[in-house]
Structure 1
């Protein structure tokens, strides 16, 4: 693969990592997609082994994020529907108030739903904090898996270069 091609793959991987943190882009998909393009263009056993390592890292992270965040949400007795509605509200908020609206609408919707459900401001705030923590858990796990994938790709650059 040409240097320009590798730079473009690097940009896709970096955009994916940023997308995981910002929660606007499908980050892990971008990271893995960039590495897949690199493996196809580079060819050879080494490139495909690197892609395999990256795919396994991302797949494990995807499963772990749901297990860990789900466990956290069950412990706090927050229904997944509340988190889903909060996520939709966050997406809407992102367009109403660029960037910060994502966080504001997400937190606001979860608090409002939990307040209506529990009839207690303290309990609603506790549930809201748990939902934000669960979101941070998913971001952290996704980021860890994608960083392992990106690290495998960097090693692959040296091996195949």
Structure 2
């Protein structure tokens, strides 16, 4: 691949890594797509090895984030419906309050849903904290998968 092509792939990987953190768009899938484009164009044993490592890392992270977060929320007694409604209010918040509306809306949404469900401030707040921790866990897991894919790509760049 040409230097310009590698630069474009690198920029796409960077955009994907940011997306893995901010969770507004599918960052790890963008990283994976960019790395796969590089792998296909590069070809050979190095390209296909990088492709396999990237796919395995991103798929395992995708599965892992749902398993670990789901288990964490189940132990905390927070139903999936709460997260869905909290996420919906987060999307509304994204448009109402620039920059910080998504997390503010998510936290407020989870709190309000849990307050309505549990009728107790302390229990609703504990559920909200658990939901925020689970969200942080999913971000870390997705970022780890994207970073492993990125690391494989960087090693592939150095080898070729």
Q: Please, what TM-score do these two structures have when normalized by structure 1? A: 0.97
For 1:10 and 1:80, how far apart are their aligned partners in 2?
36
CA offset digits 1:7-55 (Å, max 9, x no partner): 1101111111111111112101100000011112112221011011011
Deviates more, 1:69-78 or 1:36-45: 36-45
Deviation at 1:97, TM superposition (A): 1.2
Aligned to 2:141: 141
Could you say what secondary structure the match of 2:10 adopts? helix
Aligned to 2:118: 118
For 2:63 and 2:128, how far apart are their aligned partners in 1?
23
Could you say what secondary structure the match of 2:77 adopts? coil
Aligned to 1:30: 30
The runs of 5 or more residues in structure 1 that have no matched partner are: none
Aligned to 1:72: 72
Aligned to 1:62: 62
For 2:130 and 2:123, how far apart are their aligned partners in 1?
11
The runs of 5 or more residues in structure 2 that have no matched partner are: none
- How many residues matched? 160
For 1:71 and 1:29, how far apart are their aligned partners in 2?
24
Could you say what secondary structure the match of 2:98 adopts? coil
Q: Say yes or no: does 1:81 pair with 2:76.
A: no
Q: Say yes or no: does 1:150 pair with 2:147.
A: no
Deviation at 1:96, TM superposition (A): 1.5
Q: Please, what TM-score do these two structures have when normalized by structure 2? A: 0.97
4+ runs deviating over 4 angstroms: none
Deviation at 1:99, TM superposition (A): 2.1
Give the alignment's Cα RMSD to 1 decimal: 0.8
